[in-house]
Amino acid sequence: MEHTDVIIIGAGPAGLFAGFYVGMRGLSFRFIDPLPEPGGQLSALYPEKYIYDVAGFPKVYAKDLVKGLVEQVAPFNPIYSLGERAETLEREGDHFKVTTSSGNTYTAKAVIIAAGVGAFEPRRLGAPGEKELEGKGVYYAVKTKAEFQGKRVLIVGGGDSAVDWALNLLGTAKEITLIHRRPQFRAHEASVKELFKAHEEGRLTVLTPYEVRRIEGDTQVRKAVIFHNGTQEEKELEVDAVLILAGYLTKLGPLANWGLELEKNKIKVDTTMATSIPGVYACGDIVTYPGKLPLIVLGFGEAAIAANHAAAYANPALKVNPGHSSEKAEEKAPA
């Protein structure tokens, strides 16, 4: 059993920033996250998209924001237990015990849950060949544009991700075809206009209402068979990659059984970000309270509140108010 002062469940932006504050208070902490790298949705779903609404950054790549958060917390020696999902949370005497999907048990005086939208996974189409060719040309997210350099790409979807990536991959991919099962798109109007302009200019092809019948290939994707869902007419497309951006399925996962008070699959918190279990705090997309918005900047503010209250719970000698980091720079913060 390994012990830290605080355990942070989820290493997305809210969890990482909570770690920073716990570290600033001089306490030890561990991140637990089933993903292979920190950053939550930003790393897993949209690393190369710009974010425009983080205070102080007119625009910032999601992956660069994560890089900054990881750098900011690094001087406080965080322990990363990545590739592990928190499965159970129980109180034992004066500490909490968390077991994970890897069979490890970790203990802490206080816990911060920053599990975002819970366990999230891409919505799969269920088309023949899709599962077999995952990792061999079937993608559910764009990690780097370079993966699509010079490739013939079929993009499937009608939301912002599908439309934005069709436009973003212009100039990188050799050929782009976007299909959507309905004629109407759910993306921003301006992006949809831009998409159809690119289609009219012959820079990419948009086909509606089309769906994927099957994906074919061997060691990699070679072909996609698509069909018009009205007439059933089929088309064969020679492609190197199929990028499926049909949304995400989210489920709360194991934390639904931890005895926390929930509302519509979110954890209810009070103004100190305390959950219904004393010593367990929460922040970010996973929480609900009147006026909550699922935004990164709100997650940062909530993380500061959750972390300072968790720190004072873990070490009652600490005051909740951390004071100003600018005044403690030499003592606590990185050079």
DSSP 8-state assignment for residue 170: B
Q: Report CA dihedral (74, 254, 107, 17) to the nearest 10 degrees.
A: 20
Q: How far is the CB of 42 from ligand FAD (least distance, A)?
A: 6
Give residue 49's identity as a one-letter amino acid code.
K
Q: How far is the CB of 207 from ligand FAD (least distance, A)?
A: 23
CB 107 within 8 A of CB 238: no
**CA pseudo-torsion sign 11, 12, 13, 14:** negative
Cβ contacts of 334 within 8 Å, gap of 6 or more: 72, 74, 75
CB 297 within 8 A of CB 283: no
Asked whether residue 313 is marked as a ligand-binding residue, the answer is no
Asked whether residue 220 is marked as a ligand-binding residue, the answer is no
Asked whether residue 311 is marked as a ligand-binding residue, the answer is no
Tokens 């990185």 belong to residue: 334
79 binds ligand FAD (CB under 6 A): no
69 binds ligand FAD (CB under 6 A): no
117 binds ligand FAD (CB under 6 A): yes
253 binds ligand FAD (CB under 6 A): yes
Figure out which of the listed residues 53, 233, 234, 238 binds ligand FAD, where binding follows CB under 6 A: 53
Figure out which of the listed residues 5, 15, 165, 237 binds ligand FAD, where binding follows CB under 6 A: 15
CB 63 within 8 A of CB 145: no
Tokens 């799969």 belong to residue: 124
Rounded to an integer, what distance in angstroms lies between the CA atom of residue 41 and that of residue 47? 8
Stretch that binds ligand FAD, among 44-52, 132-140, 167-175, 211-219 (CB under 6 A): 44-52
Asked whether residue 33 is marked as a ligand-binding residue, the answer is yes
Kindly state the number of chain residues that form the binding site for ligand FAD, as judged by CB under 6 A.
38
Give 176's strand partners.
153
Stretch that binds ligand FAD, among 112-120, 128-136, 146-154, 182-190 (CB under 6 A): 112-120
**C-beta of 148 vs 165, nearer to ligand FAD:** 165
Stretch that binds ligand FAD, among 5-13, 189-197, 226-234, 262-270 (CB under 6 A): 5-13
The DSSP secondary structure of 276-318, one letter per residue, reads SSTTEEE-GGGEE-TT----HHHHHHHHHHHHHHHHHHH-TTS
**C-beta of 73 vs 114, nearer to ligand FAD:** 114
Stretch that binds ligand FAD, among 20-28, 109-117, 267-275, 322-330 (CB under 6 A): 109-117
Asked whether residue 184 is marked as a ligand-binding residue, the answer is no
Q: How far is the CB of 184 from ligand FAD (least distance, A)?
A: 20
299 binds ligand FAD (CB under 6 A): yes
Rounded to an integer, what distance in angstroms lies between the CA atom of residue 300 and that of residue 270? 16
CA dist 11 → 38, 66, 282 (Å):
5, 10, 13
Rounded to an integer, what distance in angstroms lies between the CA atom of residue 80 and that of residue 118? 18
Q: How far is the CB of 271 from ligand FAD (least distance, A)?
A: 18
Q: What does the per-residue mask of binding to ligand FAD show for 166-195, with x meaning CB under 6 A?
A: ------------------------------
List strands edge to edge, sheet with 262-263.
Answer: 262-263, 266-268, 287-288
Q: Which residues are annotated as a binding site?
A: 33, 41, 46, 86, 120, 285, 326
Q: Which residues are annotated as a binding site for FAD?
A: 33, 41, 46, 86, 120, 285, 326
Residues binding ligand FAD (CB under 6 A): 9-15, 32-35, 40-42, 45-46, 51, 53, 85-86, 114-119, 161, 253-255, 284-286, 294-297, 299
